[in-house]
């Protein structure tokens, strides 16, 4: 049986979680120029930003497990990285959905407004000025970002990939459509386990599920870019 309370196990899980999204960021960055001629791929820069910020966010949990002090600094860093990564994820989803539709362009401002609102919440409701050693009410702040930016970002991104899947079926065939669909399924699962569920499921910490989903999302997104790379080389 795995002891999920063991710090070494926790660190391993968070390393897998963070590294998966960092690999996705590197893949998107390396392949971006190869698919720059494809208009719909331009918005993937927001997905790359999500991968970088969220990967670093999961790494920032490791010092907390090692009991580095002051702990509130690592709490603050984690909250800022996660909230900004969710804002980038929401920007990706809304940009894809609103692409080519002037009447939907106003949607693109929502992630930035939502992020500023969260920072306002963090400053005025999340900090304990009377006792700075206690730092941030981390649970409240974490729930706030997951139930808002996290849930919406993953949900809209999932919808965006499903929408692209239908288009790719017509443009590039069923293989291309399926790869976008797999990414859509991955982010749908992430909306559930990353934006809604925060407690253990069947005795397994929810972060374990998030780590597995992060690996699946990264594989799906890399598969999409490999597809376009092959098409471009031909």
Q: What is the CATH number of the domain that holds 167?
A: 1.20.1070
Range of the domain at 105: 7-233
The end-to-end CA distance of the chain, in Å, is: 49
Q: What is the pLDDT of residue 183?
A: 94
Tell whether 186 is covered by a domain: yes
In a domain, 37, yes or no: yes
Four-CA torsion 187, 192, 198, 199, nearest 10 degrees: -120
Q: 120 or 184: whose pLDDT is higher?
A: 184
Domains held by the chain: number: 1
Say if pTM beats, i.e. exceeds, 0.75: yes
Does 40 map to a domain? yes
pLDDT in tens, 66-94: 878 777 788 888 889 999 999 999 999 99
How far is C-alpha 206 from the chain's CA centre? Answer: 15
Is the confidence at residue 151, as pLDDT, over 90? yes
Residue 1 lies in a domain: no
Find out whether 168 and 180 touch, Cβ atoms under 8 Å: yes
Q: Is residue 131 part of a domain?
A: yes
Q: How far apart are CA 125 and CA 118, in angstroms?
A: 10
Sequence-distant (6+) residues with CB within 8 A of 71 are: 64, 135
pLDDT above 90 covers a percentage of the chain that reads 41
Q: Nearest 5°: phi and psi at 42?
A: -65, -35
CA dihedral sign, ordered 103, 149, 61, 183:
negative
Residue 2 lies in a domain: no
* Domain membership flag for residue 115: yes
């Amino acid at each position: 049986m795995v002891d999920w309370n063991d710090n070494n196990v926790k660190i391993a899980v968070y390393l897998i979680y963070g590294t998966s999204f960092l690999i996705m960021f590197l893949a998107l960055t390396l392949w971006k120029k190869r698919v720059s001629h494809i208009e719909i791929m331009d918005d993937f820069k927001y997905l790359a930003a999500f991968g970088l910020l969220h990967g670093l966010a999961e790494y920032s949990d490791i010092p907390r497990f090692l009991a580095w002090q002051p702990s509130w600094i690592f709490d603050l860093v984690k909250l800022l990285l996660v909230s900004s990564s969710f804002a980038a994820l929401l920007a990706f989803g809304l940009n894809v959905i609103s692409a080519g539709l002037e009447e939907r362009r106003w949607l693109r401002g929502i992630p930035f407004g939502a992020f500023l609102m969260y920072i306002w919440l963090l400053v005025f409701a999340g900090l304990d000025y009377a006792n700075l050693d206690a730092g941030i009410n981390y649970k409240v702040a974490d729930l706030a970002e997951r139930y808002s930016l996290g849930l919406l970002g993953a949900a809209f991104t999932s919808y965006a990939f499903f929408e692209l899947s239908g288009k790719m079926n017509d443009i590039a065939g069923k293989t291309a459509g399926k790869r976008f669909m797999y990414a859509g399924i991955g982010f749908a699962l992430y909306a559930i386990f990353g934006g809604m569920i925060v407690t253990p499921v069947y005795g397994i910490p929810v972060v374990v599920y998030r780590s597995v989903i992060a690996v699946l999302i990264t594989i799906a997104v890399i598969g999409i870019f490999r597809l376009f790379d092959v098409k471009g080389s031909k």
